[in-house]
Amino acid sequence: MKFASLFATLLVVLSLGIQPIHAAESAPMKLSVEWSHPVVTSRSAATFQIVVNPPLRPGQPLSAAAYKAVQELGADYVRYVPWLPYPRLGVAELEPPAKQKTSWDFSLIDPMMADLMHATAGHSTIVNFSTIPAWLFKTSKPVTYPADANQVDWHYTQGTELQDPTGAQLGDYYARLVGWYVNGGFTDENGVRHNSSHHYALPWWEVLNEVDFEHSMTPKQYTERYDAIVSAIHRVSPQTKFVGLALAMPGKSPEFFEYFLNHRNHKAGIPLDMISYHFYASPVAGQTIDSWQYSFFDQADGFLSTVRYIESIRKRLSPETKTDCDELGVILPTDNTSADSTPPPAAYWNLAGTLYAYLYIELSRMQMDVIGESQLIGYPTQFPSVSMMNWQNNKPNARYWVLRLIHDNFHSGDQLVQTSLTTTGVDSHNIAAQGFVTPSGHKLLLINKRNQAASVELPEEAPHSAFTVDEQTGDGPARPIAAVGKQIQLAPFSVTVVSW
């Protein structure tokens, strides 16, 4: 369309007061679901990650509300990461050992770990104390850290070469850390016993985080450090399984997968139980939600192409290794800037929820084992756009409720069946749909990716139920909606589950 024609059309729209973004589609999309034609069996678990930060400390109102939401969700494979911005909340030995004493101290770490274990009781966790004590690395001068445990420090992770190139010292640190939690204590570098009352089960341990960024590890360095840590932890916790890599930018680092998944690059007996990697949609500064509704999904499709490439490497080198996409979300360009104290528009949380739901469908089709939303708590100065909790009212937001809707309805073992949309004059990419045959009946996951209502013609009449998360639900749970005959209305940026 020429510019003049487009401008004239816009003037007409504005003069009539038309709201094109929220207008309902005139023609319903016809949905075809072949319930007797399974395409793949799901192996996927819907879950999320918890990153340690001060609002999660015991006694904080947001912490209490967040862990209540965790307990009620009841997810498996919950990823727990005491991460680098708060050294005192994630590093148990902040100073190098001396002959006179060691600096082992769990007084700030234990209460947060206890809250996690209480909230996830009966469900599996993936624990990742990702921040390595700085003194284990060669640095030009000792690395300092704030005296205040709540003060952020983005400069703690320094150095690339270990003081002990064999990795034994690194492995010993993690063995003692794990021993504290699974065996009631450990013996320190001076032969002194430190006792705890903990006998937690740690079914999964993820080895470090975003190693393509943190300490700028090469594939060879990371593989050697993985082997050292896994060997040491296995001595104190033989039942623990391991997750490797946790790459921040998997599309830029294919050499990590080629090297790490090749068993010949590991010591004998080292397990490759699971790998992990991350994806965040990141819009360009200056874009608004009208652009986000397209750019988020364009970037997601690029990530899915990366997943297919990684899968070809995994299946060739180590097909028995599972996969966890354990950080999926959006990072807005205003995060951690002076502008992040202004919350994004309310509809953003629904849009970000639809992105996770879309990735859940696509990654389930590829039989990813774990599909993890990021993250439980964010807030101004700490990636607020990634939060699943509303830090202003201490309620779970739409991102949490989308996860819960999916978690409660879809599970490993479900059959994904042939599903297609037929449209007339409407972009079929506006809606994502997938039919599932589950032990409790036929279910349909519908996702409206656009900021306009849509009408879908269902494959069957009289569904047993339909629940949706949309702008109307706000910070509340999914609400029931009714189909009219075979048609159902999808609100803008809604995630809906229809059951027969």
For 458, counting Cβ atoms within 10 Å of its Cβ (0-12 exposed, 13-18 middle, 19+ buried), the class is buried
- Smallest CA-to-CA distance from 357 within 309, 298, 407 is with 407
Grade residue 428 by pLDDT with cuts at 50, 70 and 90: low
Same fold, 24-40+416-499 and 43-412: no
pLDDT at 12 over 80: no
Mean pLDDT of 139-155: 96
User: CA-CA distance, 348 to 341, in Å (whole number)?
Assistant: 15
User: CA-CA distance, 447 to 436, in Å (whole number)?
Assistant: 14
Q: What is the pLDDT of residue 422?
A: 85
Helix (H), strand (E), coil (C) string for 460-495: CCCCCEEEEECHHHCCCCCEECCCECCEEEECCCCE
| Global pTM value | 0.94
pLDDT at 7 over 60: no
Q: What is the pLDDT of residue 423?
A: 73
User: CA-CA distance, 244 to 222, in Å (whole number)?
Assistant: 9
- Over the chain, what is the mean pLDDT? 94
User: CA-CA distance, 210 to 161, in Å (whole number)?
Assistant: 17
Cα 177 → chain centroid: 24
Q: Is the peptide bond before 375 cis (omega within 30 degrees of 0)?
A: yes
Give the dihedral sign, CA 11/17/20/21: positive
Decide if 159 contacts 99 (C-beta within 8 A): no
pLDDT at 14 over 50: no
User: CA-CA distance, 389 to 384, in Å (whole number)?
Assistant: 9
User: CA-CA distance, 364 to 65, in Å (whole number)?
Assistant: 30
Decide if 350 contacts 401 (C-beta within 8 A): no
Mean pLDDT of 186-205: 98
Decide if 272 contacts 266 (C-beta within 8 A): yes
Mean pLDDT of 480-484: 96
pLDDT at 131 over 70: yes
pLDDT at 1 over 60: no
User: CA-CA distance, 203 to 225, in Å (whole number)?
Assistant: 20
* β-bridge pairing 495-499 and 441-448: antiparallel
366: number of Cβ within 10 Å: 15
Q: Which residue has the tokens 């030995």?
A: 93
Using only the alpha carbons of the chain, give its radius of gyration: 24
Q: What is the pLDDT of residue 426?
A: 61
User: CA-CA distance, 482 to 498, in Å (whole number)?
Assistant: 10
Percentage of the chain lying above the pLDDT 70 cut? 94
Cα 310 → chain centroid: 18
Q: Where in the chain are the domains?
A: 24-40+416-499, 43-412
Summarised one tens digit per residue, pLDDT across range 328-378 is 999 999 999 999 999 999 999 999 999 999 999 999 999 999 999 999 999
DSSP code, position 382: B
User: CA-CA distance, 257 to 168, in Å (whole number)?
Assistant: 24
- Cα three-residue angle 72-77-278, rounded to 5 degrees: 115
User: CA-CA distance, 9 to 12, in Å (whole number)?
Assistant: 5
Domain 24-40+416-499 belongs to what topology? Immunoglobulin-like (2.60.40)
pLDDT at 26 over 60: no
Q: What is the pLDDT of residue 27?
A: 78
Summarised one tens digit per residue, pLDDT across range 249-305 is 999 999 999 999 999 999 999 999 999 999 999 999 999 999 999 999 999 999 999
DSSP code, position 93: B
- Smallest CA-to-CA distance from 359 within 322, 406, 422, 291 is with 406
pLDDT at 233 over 70: yes
Mean pLDDT of 128-141: 98
Percentage of the chain lying above the pLDDT 90 cut? 91
Report CA-CA distances (Å) from 169 to 61, 176, 278: 39, 11, 28
> Which superfamily, per CATH, for 43-412?
Glycosidases (3.20.20.80)
